[in-house]
Amino acid sequence: MPKSKKSEALPEVTPDVVAQHGLTVQEYKRIVDLIGRAPNFTELGIFSVMWSEHCSYKSSRPYLKQLPTEGPRVLQGPGENAGVVDIGDGQAVVFKIESHNHPSFIEPHQGAATGVGGIMRDIFTMGARPIALLNSLRFGDLSDPRTRYLLNGVVDGISSYGNCTGVPTVGGEIYFDACYNGNILVNAFCLGLVQTDKIFLAKAGGVGNPVIYVGAKTGRDGIHGASLLASSEFDETTEDKRPTVQVGDPFTEKLLIETCLELFKKDWVIGVQDMGAAGLTSSSFEMAGNSGTGIEFDLSQVPLREEGMTAYEILLSESQERMLFVVKKGHENEALAILDKWGLDGAVVGQVIESPVVRINYQGKEVVNLPISPVVEGALNLKRPKSKPQYLSEVQHLDLTELAEPPRGDEALIKLLGAPNISSKEWVYEQYDHMVRLNTLVLPGSDAAVMRIPDSSKAVALSVDCNSRYCYLDPFWGAQIAVAECARNIVCSGGTPIGLTNCLNFGNPEKPEIMWQFEQAVLGIAEACKFFDIPVVSGNVSLYNETKGKAIFPTPTVAVVGLLENLENHCTQWFKNSGDAIGLIGLTLEEISGSEYLKQMFERCQGKPPQLDKKQERSVQEFCLELIRGKWIQSAHDCSDGGMAVAAVESCITGPEKALGATLNLESTLRKDALLFGESQSRILISFAEGKGESIARMARKNEVPFAIIGRVGGSRFTVNINGDEFIHQEIQALKNIWKNLIGDYARQVS
């Protein structure tokens, strides 16, 4: 990697230097062909980041085309900083999810913090005020001290950044599995609110208009972070890449949010782009590229934090909390005055030009002169080979007769409630300010977060989901289940799904097996989204999540946003009253494969994921919404990890008040463990005033949805009888204690 040198002494572009920039010989030839000459060292740096997997999507782009991205509410699909979905009355929500996996593995606190900062900028760049954050986290084995160090660092980072900026972190998910030991996943989601006539895009129109740099000063942070970190696996040399870590300053971000939102009120703002991966380079090329114009700027004007920075370093720096604005000529002083009011640095660094090139001067010399389209669109679309992985035929087979059926369910229930993937995530979300701004109607701890839309009677429900074990066993069906399950979480909270964003976390795409997994997962998301009519409006791809040849489980994380026309129709997962009846919507099959139960009790990750009958799923979701909106029910909770038994206990213990007991009386010919702990899809556990049972059953028949009344809320114990025999009998408070403290207890240990 180049050391800081004076700009006049540019290193020569040798084959070695090309390789160090992560470009292949073929790619280098293409660059020379496209621009008609050899690039200089600085220009090579630009190509290297812009053609990196992270910025160019060269392995994934053709597949992403399969995703349904349109719908009557969609105002902006993929292609901008974030997607925009209309929620009526002149308002829209803007949202996206993005990965910060590799940086978080290297420095968990800063990696996660800057991940949150980056996704927030994607949202407010569009003119929206960020109103909610979610995050989806995957760590390795919790018994490994390294995992605990990473967990503490990541949660600290998210908490420090989100809390300081005053954007509530209202939900998320955390999974632990040994497959993430060497590659944790940190996916951050942000949602913002905008007036539909005030949406801003990354445009640089109007020849002669000034380009203004806004925000933190530029230092040597993260130079080549995006390209190198996002496109190479980890190995022993990872240590050498360490000094590229960027540090976040949430205080500056908060000022940047307020500054930008104030600027956006001015009719002289033409376009804006945040400086994310590849910093000043990608933002200027993208803005000009989007408008068919060019940009000319002078790096001597860029506010710098360090002395002696070269053009190369300034252009590729990934210093955080920076944006680029284009305003109408003559308004630059007004713009700078607003920056000054908020105490931010800023400077006019260049202007829009007619010819579609980016021309950059530094210290009186032209250092870059590149046509835009080769840089922005020139990267090859790689047709990487794919093939179905060998492991599938082995793992997909599961013979239930090999698994001894337990005589009682107490032990399994206790084990499941104390398993890191099921136990309470309170230790995590207690560290996030989830209430600031007074819009969080449903706090973390229910199926989905529900946010009131300020000054309206509407609300949005937010959830993020992916069972990567299912995706490992079958990426196509696993991805479909992720969509179905996420949508089901939204429905249980009273929302109608209106849009989806996804973050595709996979291993090394140069391996045909990984490409196959990727293709299957994208097809799965596409198929499910088409069926359920949920447009995909934004997303992100993270490849090379692989260490020493060992890839993570395919993890296509999806986040679904739902709309509640009337915020009073929100619903939570916990039981409300003693004496209420408990009902189960949906059908339980004899499915154990892929379950947390199989993992905890038999230490196996095996079989095919549970079946997903999409028609049935839709009927179940529609029925649940009908019940919520008709005020028929008191609670609704999706049955997922740990099955019906865990869902029922969670409904007993997750309320803000004292835990409530419950008794389930089940009749079934299924294996008892499958009945209680199997993870059959399309099931929702509800509770309601006893007298309403008959009407609800009648409505279920009319909707052709399986439904049964299976028990009653009350008492201080959790009891399950199957065909008249007691199968589980436990003090509910004892179950709650097991469930409640596990992650915190682990996290507090150091060694």
Partner 1 sequence: MKCGVVVFPGSNCDHDCYHILKHIFELDTEWVWHKDSADLDAFDFVVLPGGFSYGDYLRAGAISRFSPVMKAVVRYAQKGGKVLGICNGFQILVESGLLPGALMQNRWQKFICKPVFTRVESTDTPFTSLCRERPILRIPIAHHGGRYFAQEDTLKAMQDNQQIVLKYCEPGGTVSEASNPNGSMDNIAGVANEKKNVFGMMPHPERSADPLWPDQDGQLIFKSLIQSF
Partner 2 sequence: MLAKIHVTYKKGVLDTQGQAVHHALTDLGYNEVKQVTVGKYMEVHLKGLSEENAKDRVREMCEKLLANTVIESYRYTLSPTE
- The answer to whether the beta carbons of residues 553 and 469 sit under 8 Å apart is yes
Q: Is 98 in the site for partner 2 (CB under 8 A)?
A: no
Q: Is 538 in the site for ligand ADP (CB under 6 A)?
A: yes
79 binds, among Mg ion, ligand ADP, partner 2, none (CB under 5 to 8 A by kind): ligand ADP
81 binds, among Mg ion, partner 2, partner 1, none (CB under 5 to 8 A by kind): Mg ion
Q: Sheet holding 269-274: strands in order across?
A: 269-274, 322-327, 210-215, 346-353, 294-298, 357-362, 365-371
Q: Is 343 in the site for partner 1 (CB under 8 A)?
A: yes
Q: Is 276 in the site for Mg ion (CB under 5 A)?
A: yes
548 binds, among partner 1, partner 2, Mg ion, none (CB under 5 to 8 A by kind): none
Q: Is 279 in the site for Mg ion (CB under 5 A)?
A: no
Handedness of CA 340, 346, 349, 350 (dihedral sign): negative
Catalytic residue among 100, 102, 109, 570: 100
Q: Is 576 in the site for partner 1 (CB under 8 A)?
A: no
DSSP string, 505-516: E-S-TTSHHHHH
* Min CB(658)–ligand ADP separation in Å: 43
Q: Tell me how far apart the alpha carbons of residues 200 and 652 are, in angstroms, rounded to a whole number.
A: 46
**Residue carrying structure tokens 């003119």:** 127
Closest CA to 120 of 255, 317, 270, 278: 255
Beta pairing, strands 555-564 & 459-465: antiparallel
Token reading at 10: 């540019």
* Min CB(220)–partner 2 separation in Å: 5
Pattern 87-126, binding to ligand ADP, x per CB under 6 A?
Answer: ---------x-x-----------------------x----
254 binds, among ligand ADP, partner 1, Mg ion, none (CB under 5 to 8 A by kind): partner 1
Dihedral, 150, 152, 155, 161 alpha carbons, nearest 10 = -100
* Min CB(151)–partner 1 separation in Å: 12
Q: Tell me how far apart the alpha carbons of residues 478 and 470 are, in angstroms, rounded to a whole number.
A: 5
> Which residues are bridge partners to 464 per DSSP?
559
Q: Which is nearer to partner 1, 404 or 438 (CB)?
A: 438
Q: Is 421 in the site for ligand ADP (CB under 6 A)?
A: no
Q: Is 332 in the site for partner 2 (CB under 8 A)?
A: no
Closest CA to 62 of 371, 535, 379: 379
* Min CB(247)–partner 2 separation in Å: 4
Q: Is 64 in the site for ligand ADP (CB under 6 A)?
A: yes
Q: Which helix (H) or strand (E) holds 153?
A: helix 145-165
Q: Which is nearer to Mg ion, 123 or 564 (CB)?
A: 123
> By three-state DSSP, how is residue 702 classified?
helix
How many beta carbons lie within 10 A of that of residue 206, not counting itself?
Answer: 17
Q: Which is nearer to partner 2, 153 or 642 (CB)?
A: 153
Q: Which helix (H) or strand (E) holds 523?
A: helix 512-532
320 binds, among ligand ADP, Mg ion, partner 1, none (CB under 5 to 8 A by kind): none
Q: Which is nearer to partner 1, 131 or 728 (CB)?
A: 131
436 binds, among partner 1, Mg ion, partner 2, none (CB under 5 to 8 A by kind): partner 1
Q: Tell me how far apart the alpha carbons of residues 414 and 729 are, in angstroms, rounded to a whole number.
A: 11
* Catalytic site includes residue 729: no
Q: Which is nearer to ligand ADP, 80 or 641 (CB)?
A: 80
Of 77-85, 352-360, 478-486, 596-604, the window that binds ligand ADP (rule: CB under 6 A) is 77-85
Determine the residue type at 117.
G
Q: CA 446 → CA 96, 99, 467, 567, 651, distances in Å?
A: 22, 24, 17, 16, 9
Closest CA to 644 of 591, 696, 695: 591
* Min CB(656)–partner 1 separation in Å: 8
Binding positions for partner 2, 393-422, rule CB under 8 A: none
- The answer to whether the beta carbons of residues 117 and 531 sit under 8 Å apart is no
Q: Is 3 in the site for partner 2 (CB under 8 A)?
A: no
Of 46-54, 120-128, 350-358, 513-521, the window that binds Mg ion (rule: CB under 5 A) is 120-128
* Catalytic site includes residue 100: yes
* Min CB(750)–partner 2 separation in Å: 4
Selected from 107, 596, 638, 650, the binder of partner 2 by CB under 8 A is 107
Q: Tell me how far apart the alpha carbons of residues 647 and 517 are, in angstroms, rounded to a whole number.
A: 30
DSSP string, 612-672: --HHHHHHHHHHHHHHHHTT--SEEEE--TTHHHHHHHHHHH-SSSS---EEEEE--SS-H
Catalytic residue among 21, 54, 434, 570: 54
Selected from 17, 34, 35, 164, the binder of partner 1 by CB under 8 A is 164
Exposed, middle or buried: residue 568 (CB in 10 Å: 0-12, 13-18, 19+)? exposed
Pattern 311-330, binding to partner 2, x per CB under 8 A?
Answer: --------xx----------
Residues at the contact surface with Mg ion, assessed by CB under 5 A: 81, 122, 276
Residues at the contact surface with partner 2, assessed by CB under 8 A: 106-107, 109-110, 216, 219-221, 242-243, 245-247, 249, 251-252, 305-306, 319-320, 749-751
Q: Which residues are catalytic?
A: 54, 100
Residues at the contact surface with ligand ADP, assessed by CB under 6 A: 55, 64, 67, 78-81, 96, 98, 122, 276-277, 502, 504, 536, 538-541
Residues at the contact surface with partner 1, assessed by CB under 8 A: 156, 159-160, 163-166, 249-252, 254-255, 342-343, 429-438, 441, 452, 656
